[in-house]
Chains A and B, each alone.
Chain A
């Protein structure tokens, strides 16, 4: 079902645009042209943030953080097996997906742990990546409170995911 939603929206869009006498081809090209500038403007910021994240992980500080926070997360009903995922999630999308694959293959796709992990991944975002991309070159520097709030939201959704996977 979900496979059809986007194509159907696109077909309706093109029919509507033609009906409104828009030159669909030239409009598409004009829009696509902007992609270069967009990627060019965000590139340095993604490099900076990703290099920081990689150093943090390679240095072993990431594991230290996991060890410190695991008992705290357990308190809120988050199983130890998914703690690393909760902590990795805000930093890297591809990294947390490969961790999820790992969890699924280790515990089986239908286990409670895997379902928890899937919900955690689905209900959160790569906060640091999103904020570095959105505010690439922005004059608005004071975004720390928003990042903090987003991180709190991420933990709330992790707690709820673990809770809901028990019930549903």
Chain B
């Protein structure tokens, strides 16, 4: 029983982290119709900034806040210098250009920080396990991730659904040309959205950093999952990204947790141990394939143009 609760928390934590990454991606893809493969690089930069600033200031929280600002600025600069010239272009051109950016960022990081990677140590109060209900201990830091991600999700919901900027963002997602025709400064809006997406990716990166390591190429594997999530959730839909991310996080974690034991009931021990990790990592893609067949527009698509 305790095991199930703990694994559910693990799944939720992973899902929420994925949401932060997917939210930025889905905004940029949905609203700007722009395929940004370099989103994972922004995730990596968030982690590198946080590790650097935390080492400078000696404070994890302060370093994280500064890193968040730095990633936001980097995102805006990136959009201004490079990406805005690609909006009118074919998706394939965008993929090519942003793939180039991945290589650029990886090598820039190698030049600046070296190939070995960095550590982002946590303050002592975040490294202890917390007793959430009697008998169940859970890492304080993973609880903190859950709390921060839920707060960000709520904030995003309020901004997108209840504010004027949010209205423009939603309008942009439904019909780009029309809001341009209505005299909205679409260029500024795009820059803003891209900066926001970058900051969210940076937040995901810096929160993941203490659990993993800060290293070159850390954003590439997880970006694939983020793309899966926006496909399942429906491109451009924050709500879809949120639900799909939690779905994917749960499937991934619970699959890893319980599939080996289930398989051992039917297969021999060795075969089950080998097949289970492969199968559980496949489940997510299986889900995506099913969604693509049954509802190609995603489970919770944004309102259509």
Are A and B interaction partners?
A: no
Q: Which residues of A contact B (CB under 8 A)?
A: none
